[in-house]
Amino acid sequence: MIFPDYYGGSIANLMSSIAQAMGDWDTGYAPLAMLDRERLGTARNLVMLVVDGLGYQHLKTHAPDSVLFRNTIGSITSVCPSTTATAIPTFLSGLPPQQHGLTGWFTYFAEVGAILTILPYTTRLGRMPIDERILHPRELSGVVPFYDRLAVDSHLVIPDWIAGSTFNRAFTGSGRIRPYRGGLQGMFKGIQGAVNSGRGRNFIYAYWPEFDSLSHEHGVASPEVAVHLQALDQAFDAMTARLRGTDTLLLVTADHGFIDTTPEHTIRLSDHPVLADTLMMPLCGEPRLAFCYVHPDRQHIFESYIEQELSKAVTLFRSEQLLAEGCFGLGEPHPRLRDRIGHYTLVMKQNYIMTSELPGERPLAHIGVHGGLSSHEMYVPLISMDLCK
């Protein structure tokens, strides 16, 4: 079980390094020791490409000869849970869940009495869009966009179907959105356009989602993902050749890694009515790390059931323990963080997942999953290429 290393080895620390280099902003987290602080502070263009779902161990095992892995300088940890819904807000705010307060794909917001899916910005039940004029995403988080704190021009190279979303617009701030289409070529063209946009210093954030999508559908160990990773590597190599001599420092990382599950390792809450009866509301968080809200008078039943029936699949924590141990970050927590992590947390062992469905939801059928604390999910690569010459 791997906990995030917020003391100098996580994506939050990567953001701290960038914040200091491009904005002289102290996020409250130490910078990454493995990065050259002087070079970060002098590069005209600093590019950070986030490949959704690209785990360090997967890259090392399945593409050891790739350009990406040959330029990997180490591994860093994701945040907790190791999922897009908590990590992308870290990339957009510079802060981990301890401060941004967003704790998974399904997060319970006690202040509005509802479970929301924060990235699509909809209600969980019925997937109804939330009117930002009534409830703005930044009201739920309370953090300032990363790009509003920088002293340089900032650009966000993002797929066009994400670029205009309510959540993305809320955390873009003063950054210039550069939506792209046309797959890998479109993204790398967008990065090159941002690099060539002016003579001043630039921070460029780019996001690639397809590795994640294919891993969910086919499994991260599938041939489909292998073919895609090879195409990504080739397109990346071609882009770096075009950018040489532009005084660009290129960093590549990910929001989380993946692990493949099987139907035999899928636990459905509907098959455990005794356990379900102890809960005050549906499971929140992620299938690999679920937050449980338990009736106060049924906590003993809940704990006993997990221990007797599900101990082979689940490690049970009181959520307050994970908070105290710094699993979500360091320092003063978001004022609503305790509301959003439930009374208990189920951390899944091996490649187990636990799911439940509300009316209108289809049973989860993903092969590739993430959100847990395994090394495959938690460790992501840190790739660095200096294209000054």
Q: How many other CB atoms sit within 10 Å of the CB of residue 53?
A: 28
What is the per-residue pLDDT for 389?
61
Q: In terms of pLDDT, which residue wins out, 389 or 140?
A: 140
**Averaged over 96-117, what is the pLDDT?**
97
What SS3 state is found at 328? coil
Q: What is the pLDDT of residues 29-73, one digit of tens each?
A: 999 989 998 899 999 999 999 999 999 999 999 999 999 999 999
Task: Judge whether residue 136 has pLDDT over 70.
Answer: yes
Per-residue pLDDT at 270: 95
Average pLDDT over residues 251-271: 97
Distant-in-sequence contacts of 149-152, Cβ < 8 A, 24+ apart: 149/19, 149/23, 149/25, 149/94, 150/19, 150/22, 150/23, 150/25, 150/203, 151/22, 151/23, 151/24, 152/22, 152/23, 152/200, 152/201, 152/202, 152/203
What is the per-residue pLDDT across 343-377, written as a single tens digit (0 to 9) for each?
Answer: 999 999 999 999 999 999 988 889 999 999 999 99
Mean pLDDT of 117-127: 95
Helix ranges (DSSP H) in the chain:
11-23, 37-42, 56-62, 67-70, 84-93, 97-100, 137-141, 160-163, 166-170, 183-195, 210-218, 223-243, 273-276, 299-309, 319-324, 337-340, 375-378
Same fold, 11-96+138-259+374-387 and 263-369: no
> Rounded CA gap, 104 and 85, in Å?
5
Given pLDDT bands bounded at 50, 70 and 90, which one contains residue 378?
Answer: very high
Q: Where are the chain's structural domains?
A: 11-96+138-259+374-387, 263-369
Length of the chain: 389
Say if domain 263-369 classifies as CATH 3.40.50.2300: no
Read off the DSSP letter of residue 144.
Answer: P
Whether 315 and 347 have beta carbons less than 8 Å apart is answered as yes
Give the Cβ contact number of residue 186 at 10 Å: 14
Instruction: Give the model confidence (pLDDT) of 306-357 as tens digits.
Output: 999 999 999 999 999 999 999 999 999 999 999 999 999 999 999 999 999 9
Question: What's the chain's average pLDDT?
Answer: 96
Per residue in 201-237, pLDDT (tens digit) is 999 999 999 999 999 999 999 999 999 999 999 999 9
Rounded to the nearest angstrom, the gap between the alpha carbon of residue 335 and the centroid of all alpha carbons in its chain is 21
* Pair 299, 280: CB distance under 8 Å: no
pLDDT of residue 268: 96
Instruction: Write down the CATH superfamily of domain 11-96+138-259+374-387.
Output: Alkaline Phosphatase, subunit A (3.40.720.10)
User: Rounded mean pLDDT of 86-114?
Assistant: 97
